[in-house]
Structure 1
């Protein structure tokens, strides 16, 4: 049976919490990703998504403001790389999130299971 590891996207990009929103948005565009992990002292603390960028602008934040002001910090929801993909989908649904960081056995973030990966899972199970 396939696990989350078979569907996740790699690599995962990380930025420090004091990085400007503009720098993070540029990185996301350059790398073609919809989210990055936000770290403090190198430790993963949260996530910044394309939706967070829109929210930041609508709240009147400046592109020069730190990404910590616009990201979700504190309760980083993750899934194990060996988890069933349907368990990951359930976590995403229950938490109303579109990007789910994936951890390896050592606890390191090694991938991102995103809403776009769900179609790959569904393709594999359809007759």
Structure 2
């Protein structure tokens, strides 16, 4: 509900997931470049336990633009898994401002590259979808 009307790139990650760790700086760069009133990268940590390890990881890797979101119960991941949208981590979904799933992928991606920028730009222009 906090993101209603906003296109969201939702990413689930964990500190123990090597591909997740590798793509976090790119997600941070995408948020820094494209983040606005109409677009946000929402990276949700799914580590069990407290906030210490995930926050230390974000600090150590220089991730500063992303908001801090957690689901230590893995409820979100398990729900996506039941729906066939998540096979493992990382998992990323592009959701439009009306809450509709536009695209999803399992595995890492270069989120700060030109293909990711084009994907976001296209998603922000509903008439082009």
Q: TM-score, normalised by structure 1?
A: 0.30
If you compute each CA radius of gyration, which structure gives the higher value, 1 or 2?
1
